[in-house]
A and B are shown apart, each in its own frame.
Chain A
Amino acid sequence: GENVEQHPSTLSVQEGDSAVIKCTYSDSASNYFPWYKQELGKGPQLIIDIRSNVGEKKDQRIAVTLNKTAKHFSLHITETQPEDSAVYFCAASKDTGFQKLVFGTGTRLLVSP
C-alpha cells in the first residue's frame, strides 16, 4: 500500500522567511496530493492540492510542486506570518476506488514574530 513520509517534523522560522515542507510517496499510481493545515483542537483544513498532470500550483503565498519521477512533492510558504503557525499534513491518494487519503506524519511550523 501507499506510504507517505514527511519532513521535517518541526520547523521554526522568523516572520517573513520562507518555509518548505517535503513529502515522498511510494505508490506510483497515486495522482492526487493535497496539503492540510491543522490548528490546535480543530479539524484539518485543505489549503492547496495538486494532481499528477501538473508540476506546480500557486495560490498567493502558498505553492506546491510535484516531481512524479522522484515521487516527491513539496509545500512552499513565502512571507510567513505568525498565523501560519500550525501543523501541516501532506497526503496522497488515487482517483480510483474509495480514494482514501494516506497522510504524512505532519510538520509543526512555528513562525516567530
Chain B
Amino acid sequence: GAVVSQHPSWVICKSGTSVKIECRSLDFQATTMFWYRQFPKQSLMLMATSNEGSKATYEQGVEKDKFLINHASLTLSTLTVTSAHPEDSSFYICSARRDGRNEQFFGPGTRLTVL
C-alpha cells in the first residue's frame, strides 16, 4: 500500500510553454499533498502544500502565478508550470500524506527539461 504515482515521468518542452504534472495517491486518500523540486545533488526543496478543496500554501520565494497547483480530489493534485523557462528545468517530486497519519509517501518524480 501507500503508492503515489506521477505523470509524466519526464517531459521536454520549449521555452514559454506550460507543463502540467499529475500526482495521484493510488491506494489511499490524501487531503494534503506536497510539491518539491530537487536540483542535481541537492536536497528536496518544498515548493507548496496542497490541500483538497482549498488554495495551496506556497513557500517563501515560490511564485504562485507561475506554479499553479490544483487539488481537486482526495487522490489527485496537479502542478502546472506556466511559461516555463530553462531555469525551471528540474526534478519535480510530489508526496501525499495519508489521512490520519503523519507519513508522507513520495511519487517517482518528473524530470522537466525546458529548451
Contacts and interface: CB of A to CB of B under 8 A. Distances in A.
A44 B106 contact: yes
Given A98-B49, A103-B44, A105-B43, A43 B102 contact: no
Of the candidates B42, B43, B57, the one having the most CB atoms from chain A within 10 angstroms of its own CB is: B43
Given A41-B109, A42-B109, A34 B43 contact: no
Interface size class of A (residues with CB under 8 A): 20 to 34
Size category of the B interface is 20 to 34
Given A98-B32, A98-B49, A45 B106 contact: yes
Contact of B106 (A36, A99, A105, A106): A36
Residue among A34, A89, A101, A104 facing the most chain B CB atoms (10 A cut-off):
A101
Nearest to B4: A43
A39 B102 CA distance: 23
Q: Is the interface of A mostly helix, strand, loop or mixed?
A: loop
B8 interface: no
B102 A93 contact: yes
B104 A46 contact: yes
B44 A89 contact: yes
A100 interface: yes
Name, among A34, A43, A46, A98, the residue most crowded by chain B CB atoms within 10 Å (CB to CB).
A43
Interface of A: 32, 34, 36, 41-46, 49, 51, 89, 93, 95, 98-101, 103-106
Interface of B: 4, 6, 32, 34, 42-44, 46, 49, 51, 57, 93, 95, 97, 102-109, 111
List the 4 shortest-distance A-B pairs measured between CB atoms, nearest first: A43-B106, A43-B109, A43-B108, A44-B106
